Amino acid sequence: MEDPVLGRRRLLGLAGLGLGASALAACTEGLTPVETAPPAVTAPPRTAALTVRTSTGSFVSAFRPGIATHWTLAGPDVMSGGAHPDLPLAVFLHGLGGSHSVLLEGLAAHEALQRHLDAGGPPFALAAVDGGDSWWHRRADGSDTQSMLVHEFVPFLGGRGYDLGRIGLFGLSMGGFGSLLLASQGRLPGVRAVAAMSPAVWEAYEASMEGAFDGPADFAAHDVFTLRPSLAAVPKRIDCGTGDDLFATVRDYRAELPGTVEGGFQPGGHDDSYWRSILPGVLSFLGRNLG
């Protein structure tokens, strides 16, 4: 999991939709799925119980040259011939210092999803992909992990049978910011809901932000406070621990969001324990809005 945020300055000191053949080829080139268990030879029809399975793989992204970009999927019967027909999905964006592996290792999201399904919750799948420490937007070094999501990873998921008209976005810390940014900019028309756990958001640019932004102009172009009106029609949930150094700015961001905002502030910090404690509520929110 990513290192805990110890303060806004210390955090930073640590560190539409294209479905064309070319984009899909860029995503799937060199793809080598590694599944966590052998696929069933025959899969009997399921009438009630759904089993969450996982798979992983990697690809070379045109938006992250020279870097192997790894991904993880977790969902009902994800390995037996792909997804259920037209299953919705929620794309997870990891935090600073994290990777795709945070979804299963840090959050144990596959276990939480299984409990969600066992309780009768609407079925959907989870997906995560590497974003480095890019803050999920185009950077001066030429990388552009947001475009990687829009033009490569999401189309790849569509090719596996998922419903790209029913997409959820959720993330934590840096990934919470990235989820809110992508939902606000409207580059994925299928987004039905966004959930941010302890999102790293700021109302004004500070000189210490070069880790997240390449300067004042870059901050202004990706200012989620200014973009809040664009989320008026998007179901949203935002949570933050009351012991988190980001608490004050998350509270200010939430306060002026249009429409209903689910979630809230609970005892906890900027750590796995807190994120795991709110994950069941996040999955319920996503399932309700995607199902």
The per-residue pLDDT for range 231-244, each reduced to its tens digit, is 999 999 999 999 99
Give the CATH number, domain containing residue 139: 3.40.50.1820
Any domain includes 85: yes
Phi, psi at 239, each rounded to 5°: -125, 155
Query: What was the pLDDT predicted at 86?
Result: 86
The whole domain housing 137 covers 8-32+56-290
Any domain includes 124: yes
103 Cβ contact partners less than 8 Å away, ≥ 6 residues apart? 72, 74, 92, 94, 109, 110, 126, 128
Query: What was the pLDDT predicted at 84?
Result: 60
- Terminal alpha carbon distance of the chain: 29
Tell me 134's DSSP state.
Answer: S
Any domain includes 2: no
Any domain includes 40: no
Query: What was the pLDDT predicted at 85?
Result: 65
Per-residue pLDDT of the chain (291 residues; tens, 9 = 90+): 444 443 433 343 333 333 333 333 334 333 433 333 333 333 334 435 789 999 999 999 999 988 999 999 999 975 444 446 689 999 999 999 999 999 999 999 999 999 999 999 999 999 999 999 999 999 999 999 999 999 999 999 999 999 999 999 999 999 999 999 999 999 999 999 999 999 999 999 998 888 999 999 999 999 999 999 999 999 999 999 999 999 999 999 999 999 999 999 999 999 999 999 999 999 999 999 998
Stated pTM of the model:
0.84
- How far apart, in whole angstroms, are the C-alpha atoms of residue 245 and residue 126? 28
- How far apart, in whole angstroms, are the C-alpha atoms of residue 274 and residue 94? 15
Any domain includes 48: no
Query: What was the pLDDT predicted at 259?
Result: 96
Any domain includes 94: yes
Number of domains present in the structure of the chain: 1
Tens of pLDDT, residues 157-189:
999 999 999 999 999 999 999 999 999 999 999
217 Cβ contact partners less than 8 Å away, ≥ 6 residues apart? none
Any domain includes 206: yes
Any domain includes 69: yes
Query: Measured in whole angstroms, how far is the alpha carbon of residue 210 from the centre of its chain?
Result: 23
- How far apart, in whole angstroms, are the C-alpha atoms of residue 54 and residue 108? 12
